[in-house]
Amino acid sequence: MNLSFKKTPLTKNLSDNWERFLVNTIFPPKCYGCGSHKSYLCNKCTDRILLPHSICPHCSKRLPFGNLSKTCKKKLGLNRLFTCSNYKNTTVKTLVTTMKYKSAYALSECLADIAYSFLLQEEVIEDIILENIVIIPVPSYYKKTKRRGFNPADKIAEHLADYLEATTNIKTLIKIKKTKAQVETRSKKEREENLKNAFSTNKNTDLKKNVVLLVDDVITTGSTMRECSKALKKAGVKEIWGIAIARD
């Protein structure tokens, strides 16, 4: 028996809240950091895992307010970059891998909370509001999304957009080429070649003069964001900021 129904703007929040209530009643959330109840990541553990400042994946220097040097802007294709936590942190890694590989998309809200908390810490929320930023997730290849049932970055971007009261569009950027998982590549050069010309934009979306916040779960060398940035700039995007939940 199919008990699903079409969600309208009027019923979406009601049905989402009811679904969350049922899940939380049957499986009470427990903090992945300290084990306390009520949430999958408590405020204290969120504060503990935030990095004191962003780190550039190209030059490894700190980035005050996410501002990149001229050289790194050119290398990464970004105007600003925020790296919120360290992937080597056990709590962070467990949250990311559990969400991605065990279809626990409820955890995407925790990861979005990490991003929002970091942006608050960096005192850039006002900048984001003033720029009227559009939040766009890094896409996965459509076959991979179909197999997994969702794209992790989509879920994070949607929650982050709610926190920031910003616009998000998960269909703007598309991955047009199947590639190896970046963890399977052996060198920085191989990572770059692996993703070359892998992304494009939906021609039905008007991106001209927009400022975009590009969202991903983990950043290593920055190759993925750079290739996404190339596609967005071809579509006329004015400025691109990047945010990654964790730096590997």
For residue 208, what are the contacts with CB-CB under 8 A and spacing of at least 6? 235, 236, 237, 238
CA distance 222 to 234: 19
For 176-216, what is each residue's pLDDT tens digit? 998 877 666 667 777 777 888 999 999 888 888 899 999 99
114 touches 41 (CB < 8 A): yes
- What is the structure's pLDDT at 82? 98
For residue 90, what are the contacts with CB-CB under 8 A and spacing of at least 6? none
Taking 80 as the threshold, does the pLDDT of residue 10 lie above it?
A: no
Over the chain, what is the mean pLDDT? 88
Chain centroid to Cα 174, Å, comes to 15
* Cross-strand bridge partners of residue 212: 134, 240
Taking 50 as the threshold, does the pLDDT of residue 5 lie above it?
A: no
Both tokens of 61, joined, read: 């220097």
Q: What is the model's pTM?
A: 0.86
Taking 90 as the threshold, does the pLDDT of residue 246 lie above it?
A: yes
pLDDT above 70 covers a percentage of the chain that reads 87
